[in-house]
Structure 1
Amino acid sequence: MIELIAIEIAGERALDLAFSDGSRGRWEADAVLARDTVLTRPLQDPAYFARAFIEAGALAWPNGLEFSAVSLHATLAEAGALIRKAA
């Protein structure tokens, strides 16, 4: 199972993600933030967005919002934004 192993802030609405399979990618949160829900609204604040952390291999924020590593990996792969480790 793929897990997140590292995250790095890459702007007000983006994170560089590193996965347990050696792949990496930049996740842009614009589509998620456009939903404007109770859970996504705090992420509009760049300081709050920067409080992202890894919990049990998933991307998380203090308010309970979480994204699984599998879904993030698939999203990046489908967008052609996943950089795979060279063999």
Structure 2
Amino acid sequence: MGAPLKVTAIRAAIPFKLAVTFSDGTSGTFNAGPMLAQRGEGTEPLRDRAYFAKVALANGVPTWPNYFDISPLWLQEEMEKNGELERPRPVRRMKV
């Protein structure tokens, strides 16, 4: 089994989306709207756009100042399910 999946880059985009790059080379834009629609103590502050934009990486895990975090594996699975995940294209080698 390889290294655990991590997020290597993240950036908040308006409205309530995350531009994400994973350690396996996949990437995409996650629509956090459905996640934020579920009521919860952790997600409540994230409904404020300025607060949502404070997302940062803590050891490869998207995390907000209130310590709410998202599992990279869950995030990637949700993005895959919603058609938001892009896989890197294989490099084509030219014959010489």
TM-score over 0.5 for the pair: yes
Does 2:21 align with 1:18? Answer: yes
Q: Structure 2 regions of 5+ residues with no counterpart? A: 91-96
Q: 2:13, 2:53 within 8 Å by CA — same for their partners in 1?
A: no
Partner Cα distance (2:44, 2:64) in 1: 12
Does 2:96 align with 1:86? Answer: no
Match among 56, 71, 74 for residue 74 of structure 2: 71
Q: Structure 1 regions of 5+ residues with no counterpart? A: none
Regions of 4+ moved over 6 Å: none
Work out which of the two has the higher radius of gyration on C-alpha atoms and give 1 or 2: 2
In the TM superposition, residue 12 of structure 1 has moved relative to its aligned partner by: 2.7
Q: 1:25, 1:76 within 8 Å by CA — same for their partners in 2?
A: yes
Q: 1:57, 1:68 within 8 Å by CA — same for their partners in 2?
A: no
Partner Cα distance (1:11, 1:20) in 2: 24
Normalized against structure 2, the TM-score is what? Answer: 0.85
Partner Cα distance (1:80, 1:46) in 2: 24
> Which residue pairs with 1:4 in the alignment?
7
Q: 1:33, 1:44 within 8 Å by CA — same for their partners in 2?
A: yes
Does 2:38 align with 1:32? Answer: no
Partner Cα distance (1:71, 1:25) in 2: 14
In the TM superposition, residue 31 of structure 1 has moved relative to its aligned partner by: 1.1
SS at match of 1:67: coil
In the TM superposition, residue 36 of structure 1 has moved relative to its aligned partner by: 2.2
Normalized against structure 1, the TM-score is what? Answer: 0.93
Partner Cα distance (2:35, 2:82) in 1: 15
Q: 1:12, 1:49 within 8 Å by CA — same for their partners in 2?
A: no
